[in-house]
Structures are given as C-alpha cells and as structure tokens.
Amino acid sequence: MCKAKIYSEQLLEIYSDIKHDFETLTNELSQVDLYEQDVLHMIENGKFNASDGYKFAKMIYDNRIKRREIKNELEPLQ
C-alpha cells in the first residue's frame, strides 16, 4: 500500500478522534456549567446555616476545578 494513502488514513482517523474529543469535552463543560447554576439556585432559594454554606462553597470549588481541567483540555483542540 502507498505510504501517502496510509498517512492520509491516519490523518483522517486523528481528525475524527479530535472532533469526537472536542464534542465530548464541550458537552462535559456544558454539564459542569449547568451544575454550578443549580448550586447557585439552591443558594438563592434557600436558607442555610454555616455548615450548609461550607458545603455549597465546596461544591462550587470542586466544580470550578473540574471546569478548569476541561477547559485546559479543550483549548488546544480549538
């Protein structure tokens, strides 16, 4: 088989993998953003004590860390 054909098939496979990863990461980013909005709505709509406040802050913190990891993977793919 011709090397050029092998290379072009490999490039198409790599492109397909990048496209799939980009779509997956975009969906994950959307889910993380929706989760943060849910937590903010819980804060907005409820009364809570210091313990609950810490739990909400921890939820947002963990979510932001996950969001940063996704964005760090997503940026080079763009």
- Quote the number of domains for the chain: 1
Question: Within a 10 A sphere around the Cβ of 25, how many other Cβ atoms?
Answer: 19
What does the chain come to in residues? 78
pLDDT reported for residue 75:
95
pLDDT reported for residue 34:
98
Q: Strand, coil or helix: what is 47?
A: coil
Rounded distance between C-alpha atoms, residue 11 and residue 2, angstroms = 14
Q: State the residue range of the domain holding 60.
A: 3-77
pTM here?
0.84
Crossing angle for the helix pair 50-77 and 3-45, to the nearest 10 degrees: 160
Kindly report, residue by residue over 1-20, the tens digit of the pLDDT: 799 999 999 999 999 999 99
pLDDT reported for residue 46:
87
Read off the tokens for 58.
């921890």
Kindly report, residue by residue over 20-69, the tens digit of the pLDDT: 999 999 999 999 999 999 999 999 998 889 999 999 999 999 999 999 99
Read off the tokens for 17.
């993998």
